Structure 1
Amino acid sequence: MHKLEGDDITPHAVYKYISDLYGGNWNGESMVIENEKINCKATHFNYPNDIIVGLMKLKCTERLTYESIGTHKENYITIRIGYQGVFDKKNNMKAAVRKGIFIYDVNFLYENQLHPDIWYEWFAVKCPIDFLKTWFIEESDFEGFKNRVIKSYIYYPLIPEIETVIRELSFFNEEEKFKKTIFLSKLFEILGRLFTVLKEQEQEIKSDPKLHPEDYKTMLDVREYILEDFSRKPKLEEIAKHFHLSVSKLRRDFTTVYSTTVMKFFDQHRLLEAYQQIKYSNKSITEISIDLGFVSVAHFGTTFKKEYKITPNQLRNNDSTP
């Protein structure tokens, strides 16, 4: 296992460490490493007004741990959008798990565990928080957003429209010509879609009670625990016991961080996992339904259509899009 340390606004130091460790070719903006230990492609651009944009795709045969150490920057945030993918021997995606959108203060301390033989891909934007007010967040909503995100984080499930844009960006990442310009244009599209969808969904960004930093970290671990296995529904008593919490504290802290209950969170992510597997894997609808623990294929289809206004078969056959 290798442990990496760094801060969110100088990720090139971590890239260089990975490049030196595994024999890569980091040049200050990009690197590609392909050998028996690691498969990695990273792109990182600095833009005017202190804006940083990066795209990373990585799979390693050994465990990597990344620990953030904070920075001197204030009122500066990261928006990280990513997923983990599990593939079969023919490189077909079997599952796209633990997807999500994190918006957090660059001084929020966290630890990321990257497990062996899993593809990780994420798109990240680091910028002054006022940049979002200039372009994406209405002034009436901004103070509530700022109060909520500074010294902590906000989490949202991955939005399918945004994942599509990131997949397009991964395609453009193979082309060197105009790549820096394309990344900047996609940055505006992704952030525009993100804050537009959140506004349309009426997920109001309000000020919330601040938790102790350790409680925030615990809720990150609870999220991972809940999403480890979609075939079985989480039980509050079991989760609380595992993390040495009372059920009431688990409910309260989880709702504070994720703005929903544990069960609604699980159900939403299970449907999102189904959406990704239908769209990007070769598993049958029946297999997906069984693997994700739905009562029956009929129940799966009804629940899926209620969420996405489209049946699983329509999505698989590209007859319509949500």
Structure 2
Amino acid sequence: MDDLESIYLKIKEGETKSYFNALEECFGGEVSGNVYEVNRGRTRIRLTSYSIIPGFEISTTSATHYTPVIIDRESDDNPDLIHLNVIKEGQLTRDYDSMEKRTEADSSKGIFIYNGLFPMRITHPPNALLESVSFKISKNALQVLLPEATTIFEALFGSNDPVAYHTHLPVELNTLVEDIFHFKKNEFGSKPLVIARSLELFTLMLRSIRKLVDKDELNGLHIDDYQRLLNIKDQLLSSFDQRVSVEGLASEFGISVSKLKRDFKTLFNTSVYQFYTHARMDEAYRRLRSGKYSVMEVGYDLGYQNLSKFSSMFKKVKGINPKDVMPV
């Protein structure tokens, strides 16, 4: 990925037509009705939008690229429009508050809910299929379509602060997501079948989210939380030769240990130690693969005093011995 030149897009949050315009300008392709599509070489994108009622859109995305694609999404300054995304396939990096380019992709599978009140950078890695279902709904549209759910959005976004929530898609809803992408391929009846399954998915997701809200188990991250977590991530990625201490990080960044653990898990879907260990082994792999370093040099440079422990951890994470990574 490091030797590929990234493609940059800038999109203003809001209606799906903003995405159509930005994608067409960047990649070419064409817009036909509610569909944008480009199929050129190793770049394939199909974005389909379904307008249900004023203020409520459903969209599906299928995309692969030969090079990293970085999307800067600008704030729409509209606290009444809520975005709910479900990642079916693939992974994305989401960075907030106009942070600099990130290097490692973070798992984003599940449900991501946010208001469009802060800038967000999304990175789609190369040669990886991304499939997602997205919902954009205003509070007025929700009142018309599903009035019993308005209390959920008020609980999550009542203050109109920039905030986002991450949670996992309940296993029993996976079939609905699969159906949506299956019905997209139908020559007859595709649109009503996709809309029907999408509305069912939306309703059941909100029911699941309501249960989490009632139990106080859905943790939102404000923009200050994101800024702090991304700074912590940067520090972890620049200190591979040091021993990680969650207590030390919490003290340095002025938060409690419990909040650091909870927020880090919420954003990156892993613990601090797991993230650091995997990033450390990724760095070891890159160095060994380059052929410029010995196993001993890499192990010591990454802070291991015992090379057998380094080799054992590398094989546990990567499934291969360090020496077998080095070019012959």
Q: TM-score normalised by the shorter chain: which range applies?
A: 0.5 to 0.7
Q: In structure 1, what is the Cα distance between the partners aligned to 2:273 and 2:194?
A: 32
> Alpha-carbon deviations, 1:126-166, whole Å to 9, x = none?
01135445527556655323337752111102322223211
Q: Report the equivalent of 2:190.
A: 179
| DSSP 3-state at the match of 2:158 | helix
Q: Report the equivalent of 2:174.
A: 163
User: Aligned to 2:262, which of 255, 264, 274?
Assistant: 255
Q: In structure 2, what is the Cα distance between the partners aligned to 1:61 and 1:69?
A: 25
**Does structure 2 retain, via aligned residues, the 8 Å contact 1:136–1:191?**
no
Unaligned runs of 5+ in 2: 1-5, 92-105, 237-242, 275-314, 319-328
Q: In structure 2, what is the Cα distance between the partners aligned to 1:262 and 1:237?
A: 19
Q: C-alpha displacement at 1:34, in angstroms? A: 2.5
| Amino acid in the other structure paired with 1:80 | N
**Does structure 1 retain, via aligned residues, the 8 Å contact 2:167–2:218?**
no
| Amino acid in the other structure paired with 2:57 | I
Q: Report the equivalent of 2:64.
A: 59
Q: Report the equivalent of 2:291.
A: none
Q: Report the equivalent of 2:8.
A: 3
Q: C-alpha displacement at 1:252, in angstroms? A: 1.9
**Does structure 2 retain, via aligned residues, the 8 Å contact 1:75–1:128?**
yes
| Alignment of 1:129 onto 2:139 | yes
Unaligned runs of 5+ in 1: 87-95, 227-234, 268-289, 294-322
| Alignment of 1:120 onto 2:130 | yes
5 Å-filtered alignment, 1:72-87, equals 72-85=77-90
| Amino acid in the other structure paired with 1:63 | P
Give the direction of change, closer, same or farther, for the CA distance of 1:214–1:138 in structure 2 (3 Å limit): closer
| DSSP 3-state at the match of 2:10 | strand
| DSSP 3-state at the match of 1:122 | strand
> Alpha-carbon deviations, 1:292-321, whole Å to 9, x = none?
89xxxxxxxxxxxxxxxxxxxxxxxxxxxx
**Does structure 2 retain, via aligned residues, the 8 Å contact 1:5–1:66?**
yes
**Does structure 1 retain, via aligned residues, the 8 Å contact 2:163–2:220?**
no
Q: Report the equivalent of 1:104.
A: 114
Q: Report the equivalent of 2:288.
A: none
Q: C-alpha displacement at 1:16, in angstroms? A: 3.4
| Amino acid in the other structure paired with 2:163 | S
Q: With structure 2 as the length reference, what TM-score do the two structures score?
A: 0.61
**Does structure 1 retain, via aligned residues, the 8 Å contact 2:55–2:138?**
yes
Q: C-alpha displacement at 1:42, in angstroms? A: 1.5
| Amino acid in the other structure paired with 1:198 | I
Q: C-alpha displacement at 1:2, in angstroms? A: 1.6
Q: C-alpha displacement at 1:68, in angstroms? A: 1.2
Give the direction of change, closer, same or farther, for the CA distance of 1:112–1:10 in structure 2 (3 Å limit): same
| Alignment of 1:14 onto 2:24 | no
Q: With structure 1 as the length reference, what TM-score do the two structures score?
A: 0.62
Q: In structure 2, what is the Cα distance between the partners aligned to 1:161 and 1:63?
A: 32
| DSSP 3-state at the match of 1:26 | strand
Give the direction of change, closer, same or farther, for the CA distance of 1:150–1:36 in structure 2 (3 Å limit): same
Q: In structure 1, what is the Cα distance between the partners aligned to 2:260 and 2:200?
A: 33
Give the direction of change, closer, same or farther, for the CA distance of 1:120–1:185 in structure 2 (3 Å limit): same
Q: C-alpha displacement at 1:222, in angstroms? A: 7.3
Q: In structure 2, what is the Cα distance between the partners aligned to 1:191 and 1:105?
A: 17
Q: C-alpha displacement at 1:218, in angstroms? A: 4.8
Q: In structure 1, what is the Cα distance between the partners aligned to 2:233 and 2:85?
A: 16
5 Å-filtered alignment, 1:1-322, equals 1-85=6-90, 98-132=108-142, 135=146, 137=148, 141=152, 143-147=154-158, 150-175=161-186, 177-200=188-211, 204=215, 211=222, 213-219=223-229, 237=245, 246=253, 248-249=255-256, 251-252=258-259, 255=262
Q: In structure 1, what is the Cα distance between the partners aligned to 2:231 and 2:179?
A: 30
> Alpha-carbon deviations, 1:220-263, whole Å to 9, x = none?
7879999xxxxxxxx9637976x995484564255368679976
Q: C-alpha displacement at 1:111, in angstroms? A: 0.9
| Amino acid in the other structure paired with 2:132 | W
**Does structure 1 retain, via aligned residues, the 8 Å contact 2:79–2:160?**
no
Q: C-alpha displacement at 1:10, in angstroms? A: 2.8
Q: In structure 1, what is the Cα distance between the partners aligned to 2:38 and 2:235?
A: 31
| DSSP 3-state at the match of 2:245 | helix
Q: In structure 1, what is the Cα distance between the partners aligned to 2:272 and 2:171?
A: 16
**Does structure 1 retain, via aligned residues, the 8 Å contact 2:35–2:49?**
yes
| DSSP 3-state at the match of 1:98 | coil
Q: C-alpha displacement at 1:171, in angstroms? A: 1.1
